[in-house]
Amino acid sequence: MKSLSRSLLMIAAGLIAIGWLAVRWNGATLVESDLVTKRAIREFVEEEGKTRLAETYLISMPFEGRVESIELTEGMRVTKGQVLARIVQLDLDLNVAAAQAAVDRLKASIRENDDTSVEYTGLEQARNYVDSMNRTVEAAAARVKSGEAKKNYAAKNLGRVRDLNAQNVRTDDELEKAEVTDVESTVNYQQDVLVHRAVESMRAATALLPTAVRQYIARKGLSSKVLEKQLVEAEVQLQQMNKDLGRGVMTSPIDGVVLARLVGNERQLAAGAELLRLGRYEDLEIESDILSQEVVRVKEDQVAEISGPAIGRQLVHARVSRIYPAGFTKVSSLGVEQQRVKVVLQFNPEDLDTLRTERNLGSDYRVRVRIITAEKTAALVIPRSALFRSPAGEWQVYAIRDGRAVLQDVELGLSNDDEAEIVAGLETDERVVLAPETNLANGQRVETKP
């Protein structure tokens, strides 16, 4: 066994030596080469992407309340108009009843406030009372006048009786009677004056009664305006409660699928609390973050090829539907900050139907995006590995001519990671050296590897 292995090693060494001698004999360097041919070439931008839904529909609480339990779960299909969630019906009915009661109460208050029959009766009574007081004052004034006359008469009569008594014409008894009458008339007069003053005061106070009643009636008019404003507010609240009665039943705005159920069991929730998220897989699209220096070549409606494990072996097609106007900074997996621009692509409808049916493609699936930015059907093409830069920065290749590697400047057209279009410098069916070694010199003899 050892002798066999030794023999094989000696044979291999001999073959290597023969090859080296053959090369030394003709002085040629072995190189890999390829033909310059006319064929189709495409220029593209290739990047990672992910699927997404063009729009998601959020079902949320329209107002604060208690929501009934939600039976729908993720992945379930829903139809437009289908009931998805409800606010507890009893709560809604009680809110409407309370708002209706407030409206009815205010309407009753307005009717009561507008009834001024009692007030106008009181006004008429006040006017009559004022007239009565005026007549009472007049009577008191007449009584004062009468009392004054009686007092004056009694005083004069007392003077005459005194004179006559001094002449023994009148008796002492008559004098005393005259004195008593004088005192009585004086007192009565004073009482009449006091009564007249009191009645005058009462008349002054009574005169304000009609004004007070009229002011009270006017004030009731202002109260009516306040009540009417409150009634308007209460009616608006009733309208809101009736509106909430309808909004308390939340229906699907689309034919789609439940993407997420955020609330399951019955509970009290604030306004705006999220319940469900819906989407349409028919609107599935792709977003890709393209480097800013490459996105300048991307235009709307350009065709793209979509691939990756989520897609399967068969390529599918999409088109560029939107390019975001502003870029953003993204850190690469190597920790390098890059400026990127978001590009959105739409699937070919037939391809999307196939992906949904056969592979159940959903949202947030990773894919590979290749956007075709330019293409030609008959271009002069060489492998990209044949190209290198000259010290001056020009593109060059080694063309194999008459068995020698000839350094040739070339002008490029379209290019991609694998191949490049030659606009000038080469002809069809020429051969070029692939991945030339650094020690390869212009004019050096070469031999292509079989």
Does this model's pTM top 0.75? My answer is: no
Q: Residue 98 is encoded by which pair of tokens?
A: 């309370």
The last residue of one of the domains, among 357, 376, 395, is: 376
Instruction: Tell me: do 320 and 415 sit in the same domain.
Output: no
pLDDT at 9: 56
- Mean pLDDT score, 287-295: 93
DSSP string, 206-253: HTTHHHHHHHHHHHHHHHHHHHHHHHHHHHHHHHHHHHHHHHTEEE-S
Instruction: Tell me: do 337 and 411 sit in the same domain.
Output: no
Instruction: Tell me: do 388 and 413 sit in the same domain.
Output: yes
Q: Which residue has the tokens 């993720």?
A: 74
pLDDT in tens, 419-433: 999 999 999 989 999
- Mean pLDDT score, 120-134: 75
Residue 396 domain-assigned (yes or no): yes
Instruction: Tell me: do 80 and 69 sit in the same domain.
Output: yes
The answer to whether the CB of 81 falls within 8 A of the CB of 61 is: no
The answer to whether the CB of 418 falls within 8 A of the CB of 34 is: no
- Mean pLDDT score, 359-382: 92
Residue 105 domain-assigned (yes or no): no
CATH code at 33? 2.40.420.20
Residue 205 domain-assigned (yes or no): yes
CATH code at 298? 2.40.30.170
pLDDT at 116: 65
Instruction: Tell me: do 258 and 295 sit in the same domain.
Output: no
Residue 171 domain-assigned (yes or no): yes
Instruction: Tell me: do 50 and 62 sit in the same domain.
Output: no
Instruction: Tell me: do 127 and 214 sit in the same domain.
Output: yes
CA distance 279 to 258: 7
Instruction: Tell me: do 261 and 178 sit in the same domain.
Output: no
Residue 124 domain-assigned (yes or no): yes
The answer to whether the CB of 429 falls within 8 A of the CB of 34 is: no
Instruction: Tell me: do 117 and 224 sit in the same domain.
Output: yes
Instruction: Tell me: do 293 and 396 sit in the same domain.
Output: no
Residue 108 domain-assigned (yes or no): no
Domain coverage including residue 408: 28-41+378-448
CA distance 432 to 426: 9
Instruction: Tell me: do 130 and 212 sit in the same domain.
Output: yes
Residue 95 domain-assigned (yes or no): no
Is residue 161 very low, low, confident or very high in pLDDT (cuts 50, 70, 90)?
A: confident
The percent of residues in the chain predicted with pLDDT above 70, rounded, is 90
Number of domains in the chain: 4
pLDDT in tens, 4-20: 445 555 554 555 444 44
